[in-house]
Amino acid sequence: MSGRTFFGHPWGLATLFGTEMWERFSWYGLRAILATFMAASPAHAGLGLSQETSQAVVGVYGALIYLVALPGGWIADRILGARRSVFWGGFVIMLGHISMAIPVTSAFFVWLGLLLIIVGTGLLKPNISVMVGRLYPEGDDGRRDAGFSLFYLGINLGAFFAPLVVGWLAGGDRWHLGFGAAAVGMALGLTQYVLGGRSLRGVGERPGMRLTPRERRHFGRLVALGVVLTLVALGAWAATGTLTIDRFTVALTVVILIVPVVYFGYIMFGSHDLTEDERIRMKAYIWLFVAAAIFWMIYDLAPSKLLFFAQDHTDLSLFGIRINQATTQSFNPLFIMIFVPVFAALWVKLGTRVSTPQKFGFALVMVGLSFVVMAVAAGLAGAGRVSVWWLVLVYLIQVFGELSLSPVGLSVTTKLAPEAFKGQMLGIWFIAVSVGDAVGGQTGRLSRVMSEPMYYLVLAAMAIVAGLALFMFTRRLRVMMAEHHEPAAMR
């Protein structure tokens, strides 16, 4: 390869690597302190929400982040192009963090900041990955896969360092200083993106299928109508005196649950000329989708339920060094960086002997067992604070599950996608995360009617039963999926 390279890859990868690393720094930095900020009393510069409400807010916030990847990808394809979408997405994210960093007592700037971050992430997150893939010529699959491995390293580096830095800055009720650090992180990412623009060699500069002027006007009218109707509906709800943050999170969760039902109905029953094999494979995929949603429902309680456990019930001392609760959010990305190459080698070695349903089943059992450990820790916490090593063990077990489901899920999504939906199915995979996050946020309400150990055991039982069900029906699902060249003959 001629010219400057980044570990043997196009130099444009260095630009995108740095941009994504800093964007993930801002995202995971905010996530590490958001729930505890919301639950802190106004005397400690927080919002004074209950822990259950804070958990629900963090859940729907994470859910919307993944849900908006679908329209974000469409906007890049039809209006802005991937390159401008990433820039403007990062800029809006930065404005969101700045809004949250404004040191005023009003919650308005907090909610405005979260809204801006959701919108900006929808533009940036799906499109920067597309640009990584386009740095490589057709047929260069081996180097492309290696390039994505480096790219994901950047994601986890940002995720690892963010809680350490932002959590330390936000200590002593300096929440807005922590939010400000997230804004600086996104600003650094944008700076690198702009300065490294030449190295992208025109990748993503133009939309793939640009809207005609007439289509653009129609789109603008639809967006304006949607915004007006949403504001009118919220205004009418507020006028009744029944609009609360709790009820609003429930309403959003219901909407998020409806999205995949409508989408799968559209795929299965619309006139898309699906073949019989494609329909059978989609039926199998729906079961995997539900399994993934259950997994994320538990896994993504890390920045809410487990963060509160770290704050309230854990002796935050690691190797004799005092840490804060936000630091526990760095355990997960650390383990991911350690074990990604191990699991990558393991799947190559096992080959076709382990099927996709079995990998999903293993992931569900692992995340379920992690909450069995949490139930034990919660029981012990009744007599006083427990060691932080309980949380280390929980995150270690969960990472074994994640590495069995997340990359495998992306792969099987592209494999089972009907021909008419090849470009959209990755968005469907992100909706599984969205559903899991939204429902997981609502599970905090169970704490009002059951003990902490029982809360963890109930969620653990759901995951383990779902995992065992996948093991039981592995043979049937493999046939439906036509996995490893078996005929797709079963309905």
Give 358-403 pLDDT, tens digit per residue: 999 999 999 999 999 999 999 999 888 999 999 999 999 999 999 9
Residue in the structure block whose two tokens are 């799947």: 347
| Gap between the Cα atoms of 172 and 139, Å rounded | 53
Report the 10 Å Cβ neighbour count for 334: 16
Report H helices in 170-275.
175-195, 213-239, 245-269
Helix (H, G, I), strand (E, B) or coil at 138: coil
| Gap between the Cα atoms of 25 and 157, Å rounded | 8
Helices 356-381, 452-472: crossing angle, 10 deg rounding: 160
- Length of the chain (residues): 491
Predicted confidence at residue 345, as pLDDT, reads 82
Of the candidate ranges 7-21, 42-56, 99-113, the one whose mean pLDDT is the lowest: 7-21
* Residue type at position 486: E
Over residues 476-484, the mean pLDDT reads: 79
Predicted confidence at residue 11, as pLDDT, reads 81
| Gap between the Cα atoms of 167 and 173, Å rounded | 10
Query: What are the tens digits of pLDDT across the range 174-225?
Result: 999 999 999 999 999 999 899 888 888 777 777 777 888 888 899 889 999 9
What is the pTM for the complete model shown?
0.90
Supply the DSSP string of 248-261, one letter for each residue: HHHHHHHHHHHHHH
Predicted confidence at residue 489, as pLDDT, reads 37
Query: What are the tens digits of pLDDT across the range 248-268?
Result: 999 999 999 999 999 888 888
Contact 38, 30 (CB under 8 A): no
Predicted confidence at residue 312, as pLDDT, reads 93
Query: What are the tens digits of pLDDT across the range 37-83?
Result: 999 999 898 999 999 999 999 999 999 999 998 888 888 888 888 88
Confidence of residue 142 (pLDDT cuts 50, 70, 90): low
Report the 10 Å Cβ neighbour count for 108: 10
Query: What are the tens digits of pLDDT across the range 163-184?
Result: 999 999 999 899 999 999 999 9
Output Rg (C-alpha) for the chain, integer angstroms: 22
Residue in the structure block whose two tokens are 């709790």: 246
